[in-house]
Amino acid sequence: MRFQASAIVMALSLAYAALPAQADVTTTQTGNGNSAFTEQNSNSGNATARTKQSGDNHRAGNPNTGTVGEAEGGIYQQNTNSVAAIDQNGGHSNTAMVKQVNQTGGYGWVDQQGGYNNKGFINQTGNGNEALVRQENGTHDSTGRVSQEGVSNYGEVIQNYSEATGEVRQKGADNDARIAQSNSYPGTTALIDQQGDRNLGRITQDGASNSSASLTQIGGDNQGHITQSNTSSSHAVVRQDGQRNIANVTQSGGSGHLADVFQKGNDNQATLNQSGMNNSGWITQDGFSNVASLTQTGTGARNYGRITQLGVGFQATMTQNGSNNQAAILQR
């Protein structure tokens, strides 16, 4: 986590040159109809805010009303010595907001490169939190959001040639959550919600249409990965409540995938892979050190799989390939 975050900090430094050891605000605008407003209150000597706009009708604050919010965008920093940056380069009608309150160190950066009608929002409070929302060329009508509270959390939403929604929520310390959406279409959504310490979450959506992915982690040292590739109307949900649980969900091709993984306890592992048609898969683990694997494939298949493990040290593997399959495993 720190390695990539350091690379981003370096990029910010290069983009804005050396940061002075004093509260500093800089706004640069080219184009037509752009608006920008920055407010900094009770900050220490090295709070820094930068806004760069090119293109037309971008929103990064309302100078007429002196307001910062999701409707008008802008930068607001209070009791902080962090870096806040908004880049709106090319395109038109994008909105960006960075709010940092009671934050020591770290940064918030909304980077909108081309596109139109995109919205990027960052809210942070705590120490050393780092957040990036990047919306790249070809992205339009997309929303990226990172909200963090705590210490040394890292949240990231990257959207490329997409029309999608991605959101990261973190509360705790040393959590790492990253969403990547590329070549995705309307109705595609991703959410990572982490509460605790040292959780790691990843959602990747590539070529997804009307698909959703949700990852919730409560506790510590959990790892969750969801990948959706060339999916349509697919849905994946991972919920982890405990310590050191690992879950991996992969959905590709086909149609109508549904995946639900629920882990409660410690040291559980779950893997769910789906491709083909009309697959539904559930893995539930309540206990300790359980291992489950469910794979569903097949053209024209009507697969149904369910694995439930209640206890300690159970192992279950299910593979379905073909038509009209149904299977259930229950271990107590």
Q: What is the pLDDT of residues 145-159, one digit of tens each?
A: 999 999 999 999 999
What is the model's pLDDT at position 46? Answer: 76
What is the model's pLDDT at position 280? Answer: 94
In which residue are the tokens 């940061």 written?
19
In which residue are the tokens 């070549």 written?
183
Query: 74 in the Ramachandran plot: left (φ > 0), alpha (ψ -120 to 50) or beta?
Result: left
Q: How many angstroms separate the CA atoms of 248 and 99, rounded?
A: 33
Residues of the chain with pLDDT > 90, as a percent, come to 82
Q: How many angstroms separate the CA atoms of 107 and 124, rounded?
A: 9
pLDDT band, very low/low/confident/very high, at 271 (cuts 50, 70, 90): very high
113-123: b or e for each residue (b if 16 or more CB lie within 10 Å)? bbbbbbbbbbb
Segment 194-201 shows an average pLDDT of 98
Residue 314 has phi, psi (to 5 degrees) of -80, 150
pLDDT at 7 over 80: no
Q: How many angstroms separate the CA atoms of 290 and 288, rounded?
A: 6
pLDDT at 17 over 90: no
pLDDT at 100 over 80: yes
Distance from the first to the final alpha carbon of the chain: 38
Greater confidence (79 vs 123) lies with 123
Segment 191-217 shows an average pLDDT of 97
What is the model's pLDDT at position 1? Answer: 41
Q: How many angstroms separate the CA atoms of 128 and 100, rounded?
A: 11
Number of domains in the chain: 1
Residue 137 has phi, psi (to 5 degrees) of -45, 140
Single pTM value for the model: 0.93
- pLDDT tens profile 158-192: 999 999 999 999 999 999 999 999 999 999 999 99
Measured CA angle at 226 (ends 225, 231), to 5 deg: 160
Contact 159, 132 (CB under 8 A): no
What is the model's pLDDT at position 2? Answer: 43
What is the model's pLDDT at position 197? Answer: 98
- pLDDT tens profile 26-54: 999 999 999 999 999 876 567 899 999 99
Mean pLDDT, the chain, whole residue set: 91
Dihedral sign, Cα of residue 56, residue 60, residue 65, residue 71: positive
What is the model's pLDDT at position 45? Answer: 60
What is the model's pLDDT at position 293? Answer: 98
- pLDDT tens profile 281-309: 999 999 999 999 999 998 767 899 999 99
Domain of residue 114: give its range. 2-331
Q: How many angstroms separate the CA atoms of 178 and 190, rounded?
A: 10
What is the model's pLDDT at position 43? Answer: 62
pLDDT band, very low/low/confident/very high, at 19 (cuts 50, 70, 90): very low
Greater confidence (2 vs 255) lies with 255
Q: How many angstroms separate the CA atoms of 73 and 36, rounded?
A: 8
CA dihedral 193, 103, 144, 113 (to 10 degrees): -150
Residue 10 neighbours by CB under 8 Å, 6+ apart: none
